[in-house]
Amino acid sequence: MTQADHVTVIHGSMTVDVPRKIFKGKECNIDEAEVGPFKRIIQSRYPWISDNAVRVILNKAQMEMLRVRDEETNGREYSKTLAQKGKLDDAIAHLKLRLELNPEDAKGWYDLGELLFKKGDAQGGFDAFKKGDALYKRK
């Protein structure tokens, strides 16, 4: 679950709100400078929580943050990250899946067009741009 300033994860029987500011960049890397204050707060509330348990909580929160970012951008950011890593087919498949869930996302269609052109599918890229343009003009 997510709120504007935190993501919520469950660890055992605990529900923990982890501040979003702990995660940086498109890949939601954990900012170690932000971990210290969070760790002190958690361990002051729950003194039995070990350093390893805090790390597990942060890793769960990182996965949730990646899911949230993907949802917030309708898959566009994650697809761009996959493409940058050389996983063009995976990026296209991911974005197509997200567009099935939200076919009214004009930006998503533009991004799909770019990915298809990079892959060498000019007709597919053109069709995706055309769809995105039609959606954009309707708004």
Residue 40 tokens, joined: 């002190």
* Long-range residue pairs from 23-32, CB within 8 A, at least 24 positions apart, any chain: 23/61, 23/62, 23/65, 26/69, 26/77, 26/80, 26/81, 27/66, 27/81, 28/62, 28/65, 28/66, 28/69, 29/62, 30/58, 30/62
The answer to whether the pTM exceeds 0.95 is no
Instruction: Render pLDDT for 69-125 as a digit per residue (tens, 0 to 9).
Output: 888 888 898 898 899 999 999 999 999 999 999 999 999 999 999 999 999 999 999
pLDDT in tens, 24-72: 987 899 999 999 999 999 999 999 999 999 999 999 999 999 888 888 8
CATH fold, domain 76-138, is: 1.25.40
In the chain, where are the structural domains located? 6-72, 76-138
pLDDT recorded at residue 22: 96
Pairing relation of β-strands 23-24 and 14-19?
unpaired
